[in-house]
């Protein structure tokens, strides 16, 4: 599962569920800071092999996540992560990410929003895997993925990236095992922080976001 495999040491207690009592539940949630999702259903799409390289690796590409919480724009690292950018360009063109829910928010130890799973369970993907790339990116200093990084999720094994990715809204200590493939705009980071401020569902620092975070449409554009 990508949800549990993304970060090995998430500090989850085996008996965390046993400690939850009705009185421990928050009596009132913060209001949802996001809008209602656009009408439409997630497409059920799968392929057996990684798409053929179709992007111009010397060109600049940007990605826009038009979400219920606001737009998140990303400058993609095309030359450094060509397989990853090519895969997103392919999947975006098929509408793979449209109407998908960002299913995981971490607010303790690591600070990320995880998206890109059409099942919204942590186990979904496009049917194929892509290789790890750009793990020696100069931005990953001292075992930190800095705020504003977008990187691939994986199962904990090498070269197991699919469609799930995570957006870092605060500097997060993580091993350099997750392909960093873009930089989030300042306005996009503001959207992420709004989502994070609404918290997550478990109260343990790792669960579904309380905010309704749906990617209404994801587009990749050559500039």
Which pLDDT belongs to residue 9? 38
User: 186-214: per-residue pLDDT in tens?
Assistant: 999 999 999 999 999 999 999 999 999 99
Classify each residue of 178-209 as buried b or exposed e, where b means 16 or more C-beta atoms within 10 Å of its C-beta.
bbbbbbbbeebbebbeebbebbbeeebbbbbb
β partners of residue 115: 165
Q: Is 38 among the domain residues?
A: no
Q: Is 90 among the domain residues?
A: yes
Q: What is the pTM of this model?
A: 0.88
Q: Is 10 among the domain residues?
A: no
- Say how many domains are in the chain: 1
Q: Is 66 among the domain residues?
A: yes
Regarding predicted confidence, which is higher, 10 or 61? Answer: 61
Q: Is 96 among the domain residues?
A: yes
DSSP string, 112-151: EEEE--TTSSS----SS-B----TT-TT--TTEE-TTEEE
Average pLDDT over all residues of the chain:
90
Q: What percent of the chain stands above pLDDT 90?
A: 85
Q: Which domain holds residue 78?
A: 55-222
Structure tokens at 112: 């990320």
Q: Is a pLDDT exceeding 80 seen at residue 85?
A: yes
Question: CB neighbours (10 Å) of residue 21?
Answer: 7
Q: What is the CATH number of the domain that holds 218?
A: 2.40.100.10
């Amino acid at each position: 599962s990508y949800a549990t495999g993304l970060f090995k040491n998430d500090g989850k207690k085996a008996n965390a569920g046993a400690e939850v009592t009705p009185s421990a539940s928050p009596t009132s949630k913060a209001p949802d800071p996001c809008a209602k999702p656009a009408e439409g259903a997630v497409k059920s799409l799968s392929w057996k092999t990684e798409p053929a390289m179709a992007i111009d690796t010397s060109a600049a590409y940007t990605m826009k996540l038009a979400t219920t919480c606001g737009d998140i724009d990303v400058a993609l690292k095309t030359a450094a992560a060509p397989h990853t950018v090519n895969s997103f360009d392919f999947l975006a063109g098929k509408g793979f990410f449209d109407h998908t829910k960002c299913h995981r928010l971490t607010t303790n130890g690591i600070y990320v929003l995880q998206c890109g799973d059409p099942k919204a369970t942590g186990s979904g993907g496009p049917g194929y895997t892509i290789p790890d790339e750009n793990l020696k990116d100069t931005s990953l200093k001292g075992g930190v993925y800095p705020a504003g990084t977008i990187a691939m999720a994986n199962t904990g094994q090498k070269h197991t990236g699919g469609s799930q990715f995570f957006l870092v809204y605060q500097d997060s200590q993580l091993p350099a095992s997750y392909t960093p493939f873009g930089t989030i705009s300042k306005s996009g980071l503001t959207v992420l922080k709004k989502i994070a401020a609404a918290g997550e569902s478990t109260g343990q620092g790792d669960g579904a976001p309380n905010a309704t975070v749906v990617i209404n449409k994801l587009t990749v554009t050559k500039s």
